[in-house]
Amino acid sequence: MLIDQAQVERLQANFNFVEGQIDRLVDLFYERLFEAAPKVRALFPDAIESQRRHMTAALLLVAKNIGNLEFLRDPLEQMGEVHTTYGAREEYFPIVCDAMVAAIAEVSGGEWSDELEHDWKTALDIISGYMIDGIRQAHARAA
């Protein structure tokens, strides 16, 4: 599943719009995630300030490379492998993606559209797919 140039342009424009509120975006993401999947909260430290910084950096990296997500394949697979040590499981990824889309939508306000929702879901499906590949590789090596 690839994203086309029109999607890239919409995603970049939307990210440029929300980037000034990235701290709020990250906070909303974790609120939505923990509301949707309270059991996931236990996978994070009590004080998640460091995790918020990591998420912010990851969002900035994705935004910078949104037109070439394949470039991020290896680092995202490695990140998926690392996340297995934290207890991440494949079934959590749709919840994570939905929480991120909801957070971006809220921060986007009136700029949000069905088209942007589709674009973000497509991009996040690709990103989470790479991470899931890393999880599967880690499990295969451990078997």
| pLDDT at residue 1 in the model | 53
Q: What is the pTM of this model?
A: 0.93
Give residue-wise pLDDT tens across range 66-96: 999 999 999 999 999 998 988 888 999 999 9
For tokens 């879901």, name the residue: 121
User: Which CATH number goes with the domain that contains 93?
Assistant: 1.10.490.10
Express each pLDDT in 10-47 by its tens digit.
Answer: 999 999 999 999 999 999 999 999 999 999 998 888 88
The pLDDT value given to residue 23: 95
Q: Which amino acid is at 35?
A: E
Question: How many structural domains compose the chain?
Answer: 1
**Which residues span the domain enclosing 22?**
5-142
Query: Above 70 in pLDDT, residue 120?
Result: yes
| Inter-CA distances, 1 with 31, 72, 139, Å | 29, 15, 24
Q: Which of 48, 25, 38, 20 is nearest to 105 (CA)?
A: 25
In Å, what is the CA distance from 37 to each residue of 45, 54, 62, 110? 16, 20, 24, 27
